């Protein structure tokens, strides 16, 4: 099994190795676990202690020796439920603090696909958005993350209008996966960046070797871009 899959659930590399070894062994003393995981004794004991704190390993005594047992993998589901409940409890208060913040206006820089994805997740918190600029780069660079974003948009019934260059009309795949209304302008009016305007926010994406985005939180800026988009929408063709 790929250790990264367990690491994505919150385990360190050593914890993942020990837990997988214990699942294979069923139950065992530390020496046998250490050998199976190909780790030294101190690292093995350290990982076992942390796994016990996380509820993923238990132990009992046999002939004055500790024998360790792995918890059933379903424990991950239970822990996930607990985290969701904890988040649900604290989220309203956090949202209230965030919304009451006076320092709302500002500019942030996001780098790489993970940074772009975080902006897409933010867009999903709004009921609608408009977009224009560079055509087809989102799908080309973000791939399955872009498709997942569009699927979630469809589920949430988020309204979106997009203006693209005329040459993008032939991008059948983009229109197939995107949950949006499209219009097209002459290629001479195309921009080298992609701009998404939602709520009081304006995200400007550049698609170099490393994708980047500038997120501007400002009602006046957002309003100006919205007005500009409306003029483009009137000029564009279906």
* Range 95-119 average pLDDT: 81
3-state helix, strand, coil in the chain (%, to 5): 55, 25, 25
Place of tokens 């294979």: 24
Residues 119 and 209 in one domain: yes
Q: Which of 34, 54, 75 is the last residue of a domain?
A: 75
Residues 110 and 225 in one domain: yes
Q: What is the pLDDT of residues 194-203, one digit of tens each?
A: 999 999 999 9
Domain of 118, CATH number, reads 3.30.870.10
Q: What are phi and psi of 181, to 5 degrees?
A: -100, 135
Place of tokens 């093995």: 44
Residues 127 and 190 in one domain: yes
Residues 111 and 215 in one domain: yes
Residues 56 and 137 in one domain: no
pTM of the shown model: 0.59
Residues 2-41: b if buried by 16+ CB within 10 A, e if exposed = ebeebeeeebeebbbbbbbbbeebebbebebbbebbebee
Question: What DSSP state is assigned to residue 9?
Answer: T
Domain span at residue 47 reads 3-75
Q: What is the pLDDT of residues 136-149, one digit of tens each?
A: 678 788 888 888 99
Q: Please, which residues have CB within 8 angstroms of residue 26's CB and are 6 or more apart in sequence?
A: 69, 70
Q: Please, which residues have CB within 8 angstroms of residue 167's CB and are 6 or more apart in sequence?
A: 135, 187, 190
Q: What is the pLDDT of residues 165-182, one digit of tens each?
A: 888 888 888 878 888 999
User: Order of strands, edge to edge, in the sheet holding 181-185?
Assistant: 106-111, 212-217, 201-206, 193-198, 128-133, 159-165, 181-185
Is 98 domain-assigned? no
Residue 46 has pLDDT above 70, yes or no: yes
Contact 56, 79 (CB under 8 A): no
Q: What is the pLDDT of residues 48-87, one digit of tens each?
A: 999 999 889 999 988 888 999 998 988 888 888 888 888 8
Three-state secondary-structure class, residue 110? strand
Residues 193 and 142 in one domain: yes
Residues 39 and 118 in one domain: no
């Amino acid at each position: 099994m790929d250790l990264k899959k367990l690491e994505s659930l919150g385990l360190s590399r050593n914890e993942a190795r020990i837990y997988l070894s214990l699942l294979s062994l069923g139950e065992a003393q530390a020496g046998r676990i250490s050998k199976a995981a190909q780790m030294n004794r101190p690292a093995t004991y350290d990982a076992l202690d942390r796994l016990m704190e996380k509820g993923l390993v238990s132990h009992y005594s046999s002939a004055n020796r500790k024998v360790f047992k792995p918890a059933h993998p379903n424990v991950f589901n239970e822990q996930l439920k607990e985290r969701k409940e904890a988040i649900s409890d604290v989220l309203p208060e956090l949202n209230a603090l965030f919304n009451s913040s006076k320092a709302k206006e500002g500019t942030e820089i996001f780098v790489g696909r993970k940074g772009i994805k975080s902006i897409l997740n933010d867009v999903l918190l709004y009921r609608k958005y408009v977009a224009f600029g560079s055509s087809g780069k989102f799908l080309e660079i973000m791939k399955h993350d872009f498709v997942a974003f569009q699927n979630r948009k469809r589920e949430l019934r988020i309204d979106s209008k997009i203006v693209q260059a005329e040459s993008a009309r032939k991008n059948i795949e983009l229109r197939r996966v995107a949950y949006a209304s499209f219009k097209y302008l002459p290629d001479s009016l195309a921009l080298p960046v992609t701009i998404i305007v939602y709520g009081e926010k304006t995200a400007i994406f550049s698609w170099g070797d490393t994708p980047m985005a500038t997120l501007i939180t400002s009602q006046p800026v957002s309003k100006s871009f919205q007005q500009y988009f409306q003029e483009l929408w009137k000029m564009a063709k279906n």
